[in-house]
Amino acid sequence: MKIGVLALQGAFREHQDMIRLSGAECIEIRQLSDLTGNSLDGIVLPGGESTVQGKLLRELGMLEPLRNMIKAGTPVLATCAGLILLAEKIEGDPVSHLGTLPVTVKRNAFGRQTGSFEYTGNVGKLQNFLMTFIRAPIVTALNSQEVEVLAECREQIVAVKYGNQIGLAFHPEINDDPSIHREFLDLCEKFHNGIK
Ligand code: GLN
């Protein structure tokens, strides 16, 4: 199995470590050929700055091919800025990026004072998962009945799943618990084996 981590900007190295620790091969996606020439079984969109990542994806001609791969079912794990890239709508912004995940997000939603914090709670079936938020977005609307809420924090939605797309407002890659990455790799394995 081969997983591609978008490595244009932001916190991508920690994701690579998690993926490799969990036993899968991992490559960096830096240009179009990395995306199209590797028959990837899964894609990770890391945290960072969504405006910068979106701009680079457009400039490098990767936005449309990436969107098509996700629409075709390639599993994607998106954290923080990655969730913003996936979202169909971004509050206060007329333009979205990939737009494959039918939710509305609000950027930097916890305010400056509480820009970074930790919270322990359930994420789907995982109990007591340590969630680290860094200038995190929240999901303010679910735009399809098929979007499943995986986690809430401070009465806000902070993790969702829609088909093979997992969107998290927090950063599971910077703590020691690989459970979310393992669940993502299970999805990738099913996709790899042709099970949708
Ligand atoms: N605030 C960033 C954005 O809007 C996301 C922060 C992060 O990825 N840690 O893109």
Atom of ligand 1 nearest to the CA of 107: 4
Domain that holds residue 59: 2-192
Residue 194 has pLDDT above 70, yes or no: yes
Atom of ligand 1 nearest to the CA of 53: 10
User: What confidence category does residue 111 fall into, taking pLDDT thresholds of 50, 70 and 90?
Assistant: confident
**Whether the CB of 168 sits within 6 Å of ligand 1:** no
Worst-scoring range by mean pLDDT, 79-88, 89-98, 103-112?
103-112
Number of domains in the chain: 1
Which pLDDT score is estimated for 25? Answer: 96
Cα–Cα distance for residue pair 128/120, rounded to 1 Å: 5
Full-model pTM: 0.96
Catalytic center residues: 80, 171, 173
CATH of the domain at 109: 3.40.50.880
Locate 175 and state its tokens.
Answer: 């703590």
